[in-house]
């Protein structure tokens, strides 16, 4: 085993954001368990540390990349665009150095880069190494991004401003409506379209790995596979296949003790992930509705998630009072452990893809309040396709909040949702087990690497791989 491990190295390039770091580190663990060595090449901002969890991984930093203050000044979308502009050359140096240093038994099998780190494609192409795109969202969102990459920005903007159009089904993407498409709250539409057209362009990659499973979205996966010219490997959910705790923020474990004191399936867990923002008025309506529902709630309020406030100090006194009756607040929770806790009955989520997979993986139905991007796609699927969630749309009002909580926790409807999510949880577990679809997909990917199949498809050796644009 050890000898095999020395022979092949995989280079991972994560986006420096929690929702991207988590699955790529899980992928690293899964590939490590198959006998590969892992090198993570990351930016200066939001670095994963070589903690005991990853003591066998090798970490390198791309010099001169952006910092936390750049993120604050630029905002997530411009930050990403700038990162892609400035990192290409230094990443090439990093990879070149790694190639020079590698021994005969430590050769790089491939570079796996997050789809949003598209600057990473150039270096492996130059060094004639196989590269693989890693998509941390799902196939449906990928298909949507491809559609958006081709829209005319001016016409689309006019359409999206028309409330009647917003509610219409988007042609060819049933059951998604115009308003469910993964547009971004983090910047102008033109920039988003530019980023999407880069992201869906698989360039010289030999394959696309996706953190999803066929039991969740077989038709979108089939569509993606038909329309991309490279093999798509759905190997998710990775958190079932490989545990790789990689929290970038400190987890407050006191909430587990608080959960221990609550009745089974009574608590609503609220978390909006690592980037979403909340308006004060929405938080107040949430607190009022939750309080009226009489259910206990555990609420993650991330520092910086309320505009113009360090943490919760800008919220009115009423908020504190409402929360103190039945609620518990933390800055960051051990989410997997919380979802697994028997006291948790529902998850109020922004519907990031990791949170969605984690909630389904623990059989917890959801209240969906998407904020941006693919979260809207996921929320629609949670409510309409998998029917394990209640989506709150439009203005947040305490009455609708209270109703949603009661539907999820109290009603027969909630019990039906719970049954369906447990059924889906079992399907996900089966797909990750030996013989399951995601398990086999990972095996196929690993076999292709071990038999050098991807290397054979490298640009210099095959004309097939010359820069290709997604034809979605
Ligand atoms: N998370 C966590 N503690 C929290 C909130 C979130 O550990 O208090 C984790 C969560 O388990 C998930 C990730 O942060 O793995 C968030 O990823 P997701 O794709 O759901 O949302 P994003 O942060 O990308 O918007």
pLDDT tens, N- to C-terminus, the chain (472 residues): 445 545 589 999 999 999 999 999 999 999 999 999 999 999 998 888 778 889 999 999 999 889 889 998 999 999 999 999 999 999 999 999 999 988 777 899 999 999 999 999 999 999 999 999 999 999 999 999 999 999 988 888 888 889 899 999 999 999 999 999 999 989 999 999 999 999 999 989 999 999 999 999 999 999 999 999 899 999 999 999 888 888 889 999 999 999 999 999 999 999 999 999 999 999 999 999 999 999 999 999 999 999 889 999 999 999 999 999 999 999 999 999 999 999 999 999 999 999 999 999 999 999 999 999 999 999 999 999 999 999 999 999 999 999 999 999 988 999 999 999 999 999 999 999 999 999 999 999 999 998 877 765 544 433 333 333 333 4
Asked whether residue 233 is domain-assigned, the answer is yes
Asked whether residue 2 is domain-assigned, the answer is no
Asked whether residue 1 is domain-assigned, the answer is no
Q: Exposed/middle/buried for 461, CB within 10 Å: 0-12, 13-18, 19+?
A: exposed
> Which among 412, 429, 446 is the end of a domain?
429
Number of domains in the chain: 2
Q: Residue with the nearest Cα to atom 11 of ligand 1?
A: 335
Q: What is the pTM of this model?
A: 0.94
- Residue 46 phi, psi dihedral angles, 5° rounding: 55, 50
Encoded tokens for 399: 């009455």
Do 290 and 297 meet the contact criterion of CB atoms below 8 Å apart? yes
Ligand 1 site-directed mutation target among 182, 273, 340, 362, most atoms within 8 Å of CB: 273
Q: Residue with the nearest Cα to atom 15 of ligand 1?
A: 354
Ligand 1 site-directed mutation target among 354, 364, 366, 379, most atoms within 8 Å of CB: 354
Quote the longest CA-to-CA distance of the chain. Answer: 67
- Are 162 and 24 members of one domain? yes
- Are 71 and 192 members of one domain? yes
Ligand 1 atom at shortest distance from the alpha carbon of 331: 8
- Are 222 and 296 members of one domain? no
- Are 293 and 219 members of one domain? no
- Are 204 and 345 members of one domain? no
- Are 265 and 164 members of one domain? no
- Residue 281 CA, chain-centre distance (Å), reads 27
Quick one: which H or E segment has residue 391?
strand 389-391
Encoded tokens for 426: 């079992």
Asked whether residue 258 is domain-assigned, the answer is yes
Ligand 1 atom at shortest distance from the alpha carbon of 302: 8
309 CA distance to ligand 1 middle (Å): 21
- Are 207 and 77 members of one domain? yes
> Which residue's structure tokens are 């989410």?
335
CATH of the domain at 417: 3.40.50.2000
Asked whether residue 350 is domain-assigned, the answer is yes
- Are 423 and 409 members of one domain? yes
Encoded tokens for 27: 């992928």
> Alpha-carbon distance 115 to 375, whole Å?
17
Asked whether residue 3 is domain-assigned, the answer is no
Ligand 1 atom at shortest distance from the alpha carbon of 339: 11
- Residue 10 phi, psi dihedral angles, 5° rounding: -115, 135
- Are 295 and 415 members of one domain? yes
Range of the domain at 408: 254-429
> Which among 414, 429, 444 is the end of a domain?
429
- Supply the DSSP string of 180-228, one letter for each residue: GS---SSS-HHHHHHHHHHHT--BT-SEEEES--HHHHHHHHHHHHHHS
245 CA distance to ligand 1 middle (Å): 12
Quick one: which H or E segment has residue 135?
strand 131-135
Encoded tokens for 331: 């800055």
18 CA distance to ligand 1 middle (Å): 6
- Are 184 and 96 members of one domain? yes
CA contacts within 13 A on the Cβ side of 142 = 33
- Are 293 and 365 members of one domain? yes
- Residue 37 phi, psi dihedral angles, 5° rounding: -85, 150
Asked whether residue 466 is domain-assigned, the answer is no
Asked whether residue 467 is domain-assigned, the answer is no
The set of protein residues with a Cβ atom below 6 angstroms from ligand 1 is: 18-19, 22, 247, 271, 273-276, 300, 332-333, 335-336, 352-355, 358
> Alpha-carbon distance 207 to 211, whole Å?
13
181 CA distance to ligand 1 middle (Å): 21
- Are 173 and 313 members of one domain? no
Do 370 and 379 meet the contact criterion of CB atoms below 8 Å apart? yes
């Amino acid at each position: 085993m050890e000898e095999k491990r020395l022979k092949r190295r995989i280079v991972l390039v994560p986006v420096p954001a929690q929702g991207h770091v988590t699955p790529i580190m899980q992928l690293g663990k899964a590939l490590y368990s198959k006998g590969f060595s892992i090198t993570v090449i990351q930016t200066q901002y939001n670095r994963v540390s070589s903690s005991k969890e990853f003591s066998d991984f090798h970490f390198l930093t791309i010099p001169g990349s952006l910092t936390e203050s750049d993120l604050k000044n630029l905002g997530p979308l411009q930050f990403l665009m700038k990162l892609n502009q400035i990192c290409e050359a230094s990443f090439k140096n990093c990879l070149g150095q790694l190639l020079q240093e590698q021994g005969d038994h430590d050769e790089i099998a491939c570079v796996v880069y997050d789809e949003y780190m598209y600057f990473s494609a150039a270096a492996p192409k130059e060094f004639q190494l196989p590269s693989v795109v890693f998509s941390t969202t799902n196939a449906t969102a990928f298909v949507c991004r491809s559609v958006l990459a081709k829209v005319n920005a001016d016409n689309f903007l006019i359409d999206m401003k028309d409330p009647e159009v917003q509610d219409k089904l988007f042609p060819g993407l049933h059951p998604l409506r115009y308003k469910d498409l993964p547009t971004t709250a983090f910047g102008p539409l033109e920039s988003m379209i530019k980023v999407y057209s880069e992201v869906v362009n698989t360039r010289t990659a030999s394959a696309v790995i996706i953190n999803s499973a066929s039991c969740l979205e077989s038709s979108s996966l089939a569509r993606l596979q038909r329309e991309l010219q490279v093999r798509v490997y759905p190997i998710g959910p990775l958190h079932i296949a490989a545990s790789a705790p990689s929290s970038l923020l400190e987890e407050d474990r006191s909430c587990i003790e608080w959960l221990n004191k609550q009745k089974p399936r009574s608590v609503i867990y609220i978390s909006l992930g690592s980037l979403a923002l909340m308006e004060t008025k929405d938080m107040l309506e949430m607190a009022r509705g939750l309080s009226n529902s009489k259910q206990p709630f555990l609420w993650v309020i991330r520092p910086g998630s309320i505009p113009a406030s360090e943490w919760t100090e800008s919220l009115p006194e009423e908020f504190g009072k409402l929360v103190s009756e039945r609620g518990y607040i933390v800055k960051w929770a051990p989410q997997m452990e919380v979802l697994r806790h028997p006291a948790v009955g529902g998850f109020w989520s922004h519907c990031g893809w990791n949170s969605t997979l984690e909630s389904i993986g623990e059989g917890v139905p959801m209240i969906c309040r998407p904020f941006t991007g693919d979260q809207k796609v996921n929320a629609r699927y949670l409510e309409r396709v998998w029917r394990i969630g209640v989506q709150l749309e439009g203005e947040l009002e305490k009455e609708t909040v209270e109703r949603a909580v009661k539907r999820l926790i109290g009603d027969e409807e909630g019990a039906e949702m719970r049954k369906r999510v447990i059924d889906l949880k079992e399907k996900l577990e089966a797909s990750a087990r030996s013989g399951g679809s995601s398990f086999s997909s990972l095996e196929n990917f690993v076999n292709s690497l071990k038999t050098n199949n991807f290397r054979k498809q490298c640009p210099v050796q095959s004309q097939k791989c010359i820069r290709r644009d997604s034809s979605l």
